[in-house]
Amino acid sequence: MNRTRPTCPVCTGPMRRNGRTSKGSPRWRCTTCGASITNTRPDDQHAHRFGLFITWILNSQSRTSLAHQLGISRRTLTNWFHDYWFIQVPRNTDTRRVHDQLFIDGTYFNTTCLLVVCTAEHVVAWHWCTREDSDSYTRLFDQIPAPLIVTTDGQQGALKAIRDTWPQATIQRCIVHVKRNIQTHVTLRPQLPAGKALRQLSLKLLRVTTPEQAATWLVLLQQFHGVYGPWLNEKTYKADVPADQVPAFARTNKAWWFTHHRHRRAYKLLEKLATSGHLFTFLTPPEGVTTPVKATTNCLEGGVNAQIKALARHHRGMFDEHQRIAVDWWLYTHTQLPDDPISIARQQQWGKVGLAKVTDLINQQQPDVGREDGRPATYDTGIDATPTNSMGIRRGWLGR
């Protein structure tokens, strides 16, 4: 059987097998000068180990179980994976493609928040932040052009960012979240007739699939206002209520409040969405949409957020930064056209590039370590040993 034999690095002569080292690596000996080497292939070794790393962080297997499967200790496996945490996960977001429909949502981890944009099939972009606000969503939206339709759960920061960054996009509110919002206001089992009617309206909203059914639902909403409009407008004056019975939201400077404020909020939500046209965009999509439009964010909630939460749960106990890197790899592998993670790691020298950057940054920040306020070094009584042209004997009057 033909085998690739290395040449001697000393005399370039032929070499032959000469047993194995204590670690099991093949040993080669030169037949001319007697030099001995081990012809290892670190690139193939890193490719194998990084493949194990990606398989581990993207699945539910524990590190202890994987180490037992490989016949090594858990500490050895941790040492194998040390440099791979410094590999930067790329972003292959298409900055020119205009999607028919995009879904946006945020999910919280321990101290961070993850904002995700996706289609019904794959992840498009994501952004890490501390909370869901308009600034964070704006940073996310700046990565991609405005879609024809954007579906959201109605978070105020997202709506503001859409108005500012994607003003030409048509909004589709997730009708499942609308139903949940109504349920929050009137409870799951309302006791008053108005609450029961609002609850039924929210349930019927989920069953709307045609423009005719949407028109019927809007008529029912109008009929509700005709029946319960005066009831929703009833007011309670603070002067007529004992001080210990004033609700918490009216204890500051309010002279009156709406008596049935929860039911009024629920109705006003439906009225606002119906007036703005954000409820039934999926039935009358704008011109240019060629794919079926969905009315909910279920594909994002269950297809992305739930999977990420399960990944974090399987690897609970990770450092926050390691958890973020694991989630980044999951999101990247679920984009439309991801590259091979092994080729990405090979381009970054298996994490050595990132590790070198981190080491340089630590060395730069080392003078500030130990200061309570993190301030840089200031003037002191020491003499800088670094040669500089400004050093010399000063002459003249100081106050001149």
Q: Provide the terminal-to-terminal Cα distance of the chain, rounded to the nearest Å.
A: 91
Q: Could you tell me where the DSSP H helices lie in the chain?
A: 42-57, 63-70, 74-81, 134-141, 156-165, 175-186, 193-205, 211-232, 261-276, 298-300, 306-314, 320-333, 341-347, 352-365
pLDDT per residue as tens digits for the range 136-165: 999 999 999 999 999 999 999 999 999 999
Beta strand 149-152 pairing with 101-108: parallel
CB 114 within 8 A of CB 106: yes
The pLDDT value recorded for residue 396 is: 60
In sequence order, what are the beta bridge partners of 235?
258
pLDDT at 174 over 50: yes
Work out the angle between the directed axes of helices 175-186 and 261-276 (0-180°, nearest 10). 160
Q: What is the DSSP letter of 96?
A: S
pLDDT at 383 over 70: no
Would you list the DSSP string of 217-277? HHHHHHHHHHHHHHHHT-EEEGGGS-GGGS-GGGSSS-SEEETTHHHHHHHHHHHHHHHHT
pLDDT at 372 over 70: no
**Whole-number Å distance between alpha carbons of 186 and 103:** 28
The pLDDT value recorded for residue 386 is: 64
**Whole-number Å distance between alpha carbons of 263 and 232:** 7
- Pairwise pLDDT comparison (382 vs 241), residue with the higher score: 241
Half-sphere exposure of 261 (CA within 13 A, CB side): 10
Q: Residue 364 — very low, low, confident or very high, per pLDDT cuts 50/70/90?
A: confident
Half-sphere exposure of 251 (CA within 13 A, CB side): 8
Q: Residue 12 — very low, low, confident or very high, per pLDDT cuts 50/70/90?
A: confident
* CB neighbour class for 198 (10 Å; exposed up to 12, middle 13-18, buried from 19): buried
Q: Residue 400 — very low, low, confident or very high, per pLDDT cuts 50/70/90?
A: very low
The pLDDT value recorded for residue 363 is: 79
The pLDDT value recorded for residue 369 is: 58
Determine what percent of the chain is predicted with pLDDT higher than 90. Answer: 71
Tokens of 169: 């996009």
Q: Using alpha carbons only, how large is the chain's radius of gyration in Å?
A: 32
Q: Residue 381 — very low, low, confident or very high, per pLDDT cuts 50/70/90?
A: low
User: Across the chain, what does the average pLDDT equal?
Assistant: 89
**Whole-number Å distance between alpha carbons of 230 and 343:** 68
Average pLDDT over residues 345-350: 93
CB 319 within 8 A of CB 112: no
Q: Residue 347 — very low, low, confident or very high, per pLDDT cuts 50/70/90?
A: very high
**Whole-number Å distance between alpha carbons of 44 and 286:** 52
pLDDT at 375 over 70: no
Q: What is the pTM of this model?
A: 0.81
Tokens of 285: 């999509």
299-311 core/surface letters (b: 16 or more CB in 10 A; e: else): bbbebbbeebeeb
pLDDT per residue as tens digits for the range 308-328: 999 999 999 999 999 999 999
**Whole-number Å distance between alpha carbons of 129 and 8:** 55
What DSSP element (H or E) covers 172? Answer: strand 170-173
**Whole-number Å distance between alpha carbons of 170 and 178:** 17
The pLDDT value recorded for residue 1 is: 33
Average pLDDT over residues 45-72: 94
The pLDDT value recorded for residue 163 is: 96
CB 200 within 8 A of CB 188: no
pLDDT per residue as tens digits for the range 119-134: 999 999 999 999 999 9
For the chain, give every domain's residue range.
1-40, 175-295
3-37 core/surface letters (b: 16 or more CB in 10 A; e: else): eeeeebeeeeeebeeeeeeeeeeeebebeeeeeeb
The pLDDT value recorded for residue 368 is: 61
pLDDT at 235 over 90: yes
pLDDT at 27 over 60: yes
Average pLDDT over residues 173-194: 95
Average pLDDT over residues 276-289: 94
**Whole-number Å distance between alpha carbons of 244 and 336:** 60
Average pLDDT over residues 66-84: 94
